[in-house]
Structure 1
Amino acid sequence: MSPCAVPAIFVPKHDGLFQMCMDSRAVNKITIKYQFPIPRFDDLLDQLNGAMKLYANGKKCHFLAQEVGYIISGNGIRMKESKIETITNWPIPSTIHEIRSLHGLASFYHRFIKNFSTVIALVTECMKGGRFKWTEEATTAFNTLKDKVTHAPILALPNLNEVFQVEYDASGVGIGGVLSQNKRPVVYFSENLMK
């Protein structure tokens, strides 16, 4: 059996319907955790409770904005054009700080990019051991990331009254999946596996 196999069973609920339950412990054991996790906004707000000082970079803050990083419309959710342009015009990183900055911006849009973790892993490899070493593989992955951002789909808004479809794939490098509805992606997911 594959180490990426996730057993699933259907458990009857009190109302006669069934709930799908999956045991992901085996996959969790071989999954690389986020190196640079982006905290959820509601978690950040929770951390502010009791804070005495709050600092904000005025250049990066927009209050009462009509748009943020995503554009949500009747067609679905898409990436903001200015952010797509920022990523596609990003020069090849020359320092660890520049890789981290690129990773942070690109990670905000991971839900739009199929196999994001596998692609970005080749870029973040260049800062292993605290040393910067750009490689040809990193250049290829960097250009692939730019291409995927440019051609990112408009994600469907989930409709809880309709059926969802889950597609997944695994290799020796990572696992990935897409949650779809009516043949339109709702969200992409990917994780690297430990070596």
Structure 2
Amino acid sequence: FWMKEISFLGHVISSEGIDVDPAKVEAVLQWSTPESVTEIRSFLGLAGYYRRFIEGFSKLAMPLNQLTRKNQVFVWDKNCEESFQELKRRLTTT
């Protein structure tokens, strides 16, 4: 009962608050650019789990979410890359 912090469901909980688990931060840092809708959904699933730590998450993730729509042609453009990199940056600096 005298633990200073504990890892629980991908979070580190301490007397100072709740943070993202460093193991998840490392996973985000290693994440390569998605090459399919499945890979985008996987990334957005992880990012969405931590959306509470990212201000303006919905707007920031919009270019990626648009690629996951039914009958949408997969075209990775500059907006998608910027969205992906900014989400990674914010996930690893919270």
Q: Above 0.5 in TM-score?
A: yes
User: What is the TM-score normalised by the length of structure 1?
Assistant: 0.42
Cα deviation code 1:160-179 (max 9, x no counterpart): xxxxxxxxxxxxxxxxxxxx
The match for 1:156 is none
The match for 1:144 is 86
User: What is the TM-score normalised by the length of structure 2?
Assistant: 0.84
| Unpaired segments ≥5 residues, structure 2 | 1-5
CA contact (8 A) 2:60 2:87 kept: yes
Cα deviation code 1:84-142 (max 9, x no counterpart): 11112211100010011001111000000111111111112223334322111000111
The structure 2 residue matched to 1:73, chosen from 8, 14, 34, is 14
The structure 2 residue matched to 1:82, chosen from 15, 23, 28, is 23
Structure 2 counterpart SS, 1:133: coil
Deviating runs (4+, > 6 A) in structure 1? none
Instruction: Find the aligned partners of 1:83 and 1:69 in 2 and give their Cα distance.
Output: 7
1:66 Cα offset (Å): 5.2
1:112 aligns with 2:53: yes
Percent of aligned pairs with the same amino acid:
32
Higher gyration radius (CA):
1
User: Could you say which structure has the greater relative contact order, defined with CA pairs below 8 angstroms and 6 or more residues apart?
Assistant: 2
| Unpaired segments ≥5 residues, structure 1 | 1-64, 153-195
